[in-house]
Structure 1
Amino acid sequence: MGFGALYRIYAGFVSPPPVKKRDDAIRFGLLGASSIAPIALIAPAKAHSEVIIAAVAARDRTRAEAYAKKHNIPIVHSTYEDLLQDPSIDAIYIALPNNLHYEWALRSLRAGKHVLLEKPSCSNAEEARALFTHPLLKAPNAPILLEAFHYRFHPVWQTFLARIHDPAMGRVKNAFVQQYLPKGAIPDNDIRWRFDLAGGAMIDFGTYTMSCLRQIFRQEPSEVLEAKYRGLMSPPAGLVEADQVDQAMTARYRTADGATGSLVADLSASGGWPLLPSSWTKNLPRLGWPKCEVALEERVVEDSEGQTHTVQRNVVIWNHLLPSIYHRVDVEDAHVIRRGEQVVKTWKESKREKAYKWPVGDARAGIEQEWWTSYLYQLHEFVNKVKGREGSGVWVDGEDSIKQMEAVDETYRKAGLKVRPRTAFEL
């Protein structure tokens, strides 16, 4: 790992350069003393002049006080509802267990707060439809609600999409998305293994893989061709409906125009080490960058004098989830010239790209730095939306979030598992 990567890690995640806060900065309250908030919001807020992390509430006030002290958060509330009723708070960040997302997002909107909501937005599509079509979001000066698919806001993801949606190239033919967490990264007693809390690989880490496929397709999967899961190997005693929890999910999809795509989402991956026999590594944690691979259809670029020139593009993006640490987009165009059925000439053109910032001359280029994390890019757009500014144009709207949960639900059904249960909170 080079100096550049180390600096990006330090500036983006460990110690972002502090900035002077504006008088009209958005004051965030955190629901829950979560482990994701420090990298997803607290660190990015330090580097944003229009964001202040002002308060936190947790079910255990002692834990909330310790969390506030560690992260220099000035206000601690004893209950979630107390935080929502705090008139000094403008926006709420929700990183609670999945089954609480719908309830507390709706409670926050009712309190007039903007909401940055961790993925998955809800436990199932029924909740998502109820949340994102709620009349509160259609009222004049309605609060902003965003499902936090942070990777989509980074310039490299948009660069990747531009390479596969290039009008000079063919349409998407097939795609593959893989994301692993190494075996042992999540303890056996983690809430991700609880069905009643809307846990499981597909609805947790797998929401990223599904979101990626949907972005790649630019349409919704019309059919889940296959879905297979690996259940919990040794679920803790007393775990409710443990047989409904997926530790890993693999699935294949088809779109209305015939494109196919597959995903792998594994929360406890082992084996698969390169250059070593599988028998040696099958019980060892699996390591590797998240990646998306896309193959486009062959496209005719020139047809004259009895010769046909075609090109077929393949694109791979590496580490789209934490791109500020490291990423790469590999583009390969395979050219073929034919005379009738005879191949006259073939060649390949390859390039590797990186995009830590918006390119020079791009209308979106501005104050961003190479160390900006995808979370900071996301926060920047959230602030733009709250302030009524145009921004980069990258967003996750309510219809998108609904379609996302519908696709997750259909995957569970195809795998023979139950859709995650709806909340007891009144829809």
Structure 2
Amino acid sequence: MVFAALNRIYAGIINPPPAKKRDDAIRFGLLGASNIAPIALIGPAISHSEVVIAGVAARDKTRAEAYAKKHNIPIVHSTYEDLLQDPSIDAIYIALPNNLHYEWALRSISAGKHVLLEKPSCSNAAEARELFTHPLITTAGVPVLLEAFHYRFHPAWQTFLARIHDDPEAGNVKNASAQQYLPKGVILNDDIRWRFDLAGGAMMDFGTYTLSCLRQIFKEEPTEVLHASFRGLGTPHSSLPEPDQIDQAMSATYRTADGATGTLQADLAVSGGWPLLPSSWTRNFPGFGWPKCEVELDEKVLKNWDGQVHAVQRTVILWNHLAPSVYHRIDVEDTHTIRAGDQVVKTWKESHQEKAYKWPIGDPRRNDEQEWWTTYRYQLQEFVNRVKGRVGSGVWVDADDSIKQMEAVDETYRKAGLKVRPGSDFKL
């Protein structure tokens, strides 16, 4: 198991096997010399025969040149607009600060480029509605636009959802939780994530993932934010614009029209919680925690005969949904109960664990994927399929989904007593 995990890390992240590029490969340009692009696109593109990372532009051309040299990118442009006007570029990857997503997605589409847009799609719901309902986006034959919720494209996440929504022994969702943590100190005090004017905050970072997870689990939109609370930045960040409006961590609970509830925890600077040590010793130490989604389903009646009822109640947990190619596990536990009226005749538990690094054998989605494919590699595969007009796995993030995602983010901020993140003045 350890050897398999190391192989997946090596082939999927450290040294992806290079693929021979096709003549009709999609040529990507990068807006910004971002830290996430090597993991999210540059690395996955190496193993894809239909993707070439062809160009980059950054506000600092010297930085862009150094970035291009490091990642073997042949073209460096002086400005973002120059990159968009380059006829040799087919698609744009946008990993700029959140407040620039709306403007440069519109500019890219206007220039006829396909767009892979890092989450969150925009600074707020108003921008998301303007972006995804713009005629440039909704007209037939326009370029592809995808908000990059990469975790959704991996078979592990889709298998997890199937155990909730598709199994005959699965009842309706009753309670759910999604959590993601980053140790204290990983994000420095001057990071853009702490900038209100750049649409920063934990809810705009890890919170977008946990909220997206809950919305997928619910299979319907939450109708109410029952509770939302945040932990602020504190004095080290007091020189930043409106530091009192930034959430370093967010906790929120939602309810759907069917009465299901879901709680998210998103923390970009978790501390303490070390096992076997007093909390007073470790409260200022970096903390740790696995990304985790857990779902409790309502009891479902499987059989009703001669005055007896056989019912089952299911709980499903997915560990490490953000990086399942490294390691993940899906725990399924079914509690069976036989009742005669109000009397419990018999009860027992059945549990099993699953892993899904590839689509199952015989599944029409199964193609040439490898166990070491990361969530980003699966996402890139579907992006290429959509651009090429091919049928893929069927997993996608459509315009309505992206709009409703930002509506829920805005409502969370309002419930927490914080301002909705500021948008752009850009108009096209």
TM-score, normalised to structure 1, is 0.99
Contact 1:16 1:43 in 2 (8 A): yes
Q: Deviations over 1:60-90 (max 9, x none)?
A: 0000000000000000000000000000000
List runs of 5+ in structure 2 lacking aligned partners. none
Task: Quote the RMSD (CA, aligned, Å).
Answer: 1.0
Alignment map for 1:131-280 (pairs within 5 Å): 131-166=131-166, 168=168, 169-280=170-281
Of stretches 191-200 and 277-286 in structure 1, the one that deviates more from structure 2 is 277-286
Equivalent residue letter for 1:410: E
Matched AA of 2:260: A
Partners in 2 of 1:277 and 1:108 — Cα distance?
53
Post-superposition CA distance 1:253-281 (Å, at most 9, x none): 10001000000000000122334332232
* 2:344 is the alignment partner of 1:343: yes
When structure 1 is superposed on structure 2, of 321-330 and 266-275 the one drifting more is 266-275
> Aligned AA for 1:140?
A
Residues in 2 aligned to 1:284 and 1:238: alpha-carbon distance in whole angstroms: 24
Letter of the aligned partner of 1:362 in structure 2? D
Task: Find the counterpart in structure 1 of residue 63 from structure 2.
Answer: 63
Deviations 1:152-205 (A, max 9, x none): 000000000000112522100010111000111100110000000000000111
Question: How many angstroms apart in 2 are the aligned matches of 1:315 and 1:397?
Answer: 26
Higher mean alpha-carbon deviation, 381-390 vs 234-243, is at: 234-243
Unaligned runs of 5+ in 1: none
CA contact (8 A) 2:132 2:138 kept: no
Aligned runs of 1:105-116 on 2, under 5 Å? 105-116=105-116
Q: Distance in 2 between the 1:32 and 1:130 partners?
A: 23
For structure 1, which segment, 272-281 or 285-294, has the greater mean C-alpha deviation from structure 2 after superposition? 272-281
CA distance in 2 between partners of 1:398 and 1:290 (Å): 26
1:298-313 counterparts in 2 under 5 A?
A: 298-313=299-314
Aligned to 2:119: 119
SS state at 2:19 partner: coil
Alpha-carbon separation, structure 1, partners of 2:243 and 2:188: 15
Partner of 1:4: 4
SS in 1 for 2:197: helix
> Could you tell me which residue of structure 2 aligns to residue 28 of structure 1?
28
SS in 2 for 1:222: strand
Q: Provide the identity percentage.
A: 77
**Aligned AA for 1:233?**
G
Matches within 5 A, 1:340-419: 340-419=341-420
Secondary structure at the aligned position of 1:128 is classed as helix
Aligned residues: 427
Query: Contact 1:221 / 1:255 at 8 angstroms: preserved in 2?
Result: yes
Deviations 1:393-421 (A, max 9, x none): 00000100000000000000000000000
The CA deviation at 1:237 is 4.5
Letter in 1 for 2:148: A
Q: Distance in 2 between matches of 1:274 and 1:294?
A: 25
Q: C-alpha deviations, 1:207-250, integer Å up to 9, x for none?
A: 00000000000011000000000000224343111100000000
Partner letter of residue 254 of structure 2? Y
| CA distance in 1: counterparts of 2:75 and 2:177, whole angstroms | 45
Match of 1:318 in 2: 319
